[in-house]
Amino acid sequence: MPKIIEKLRDQLLREARRQIAECGYTGTTIRSVAAACGVGVGTVYNYFPSKEMLIAAFMMEEWQKQLDAMAALPKDQPEALLRGVYDALCSYAEGHRDLFSDAGAAKAVTPGFAPRHRMLREQLTGFILPICQGDTAAFTAAFIAESLISWAMEGIPFDTLYPVIQKLIS
């Protein structure tokens, strides 16, 4: 059984983030991350079975922080809730802009994009559903979630969006 050292895992994640920002997806390799951390390639594979899983690990850790922040939002204040969800999405998108705009990364993740996107929309729908009403509440919440994802990636200000969303939830 390989020896797993938690601080090394964190170091590998930090180094992968740094290299992605500086070298892009294609320029970041398991070998380059291992070398920068002073460990062998096999040691990295003890923690992460592939470069994609290494990158997914730091992205998931950061997404979990955003989910925790969204869970703490006031469910009885629609504008505050939606602004908080939108701010979390924008923060995450901005924090990973280098990956989201990298052609090599896009090519690597395309095969699994649809299920992950659906999961993201469902997570956001869960936060938004309590402020939606009527027979179409689930559809409205999913529609708003999908819209917020798109608008966050485009950097549209929330104050421009909220009047439209407000009509959907009234």
pLDDT in tens, 64-81: 999 999 999 999 999 999
Q: What is the mean pLDDT of the chain?
A: 91
Measured on CA atoms in the order 55, 56, 59, 61, is the torsion positive or negative?
A: negative
Query: How far apart (Å, rounded) are the C-alpha atoms in residues 66 and 54?
Result: 19
The closest alpha carbon to 88, from 160, 162, 158, 38, belongs to 158
Which tokens go with 50?
């592939």
- CATH dotted code for 1-58: 1.10.10.60
pLDDT in tens, 128-140: 999 999 999 999 9
pLDDT tier for residue 102 given thresholds of 50, 70 and 90:
confident
Find out whether 153 and 100 touch, Cβ atoms under 8 Å: yes
Query: What pLDDT, on a 0 to 100 scale, did the predictor assign at position 107?
Result: 77
pLDDT tier for residue 111 given thresholds of 50, 70 and 90:
low
104 or 37, which is more confident? 37
Domain boundaries, the chain: 1-58, 73-170
- Confidence check: pLDDT of 163 > 80: yes
Prediction pTM value: 0.84
Tell me the average pLDDT across 18-39: 94
Query: How far, rounded to the nearest angstrom, does the alpha carbon of residue 28 sit from its chain's CA centroid?
Result: 19
Find out whether 36 and 15 touch, Cβ atoms under 8 Å: yes
Give alpha helix (H) positions in 28-136. Answer: 30-37, 41-47, 51-71, 78-95, 97-100, 103-109, 113-128
Find out whether 44 and 54 touch, Cβ atoms under 8 Å: yes
pLDDT in tens, 45-60: 999 999 999 998 988 9
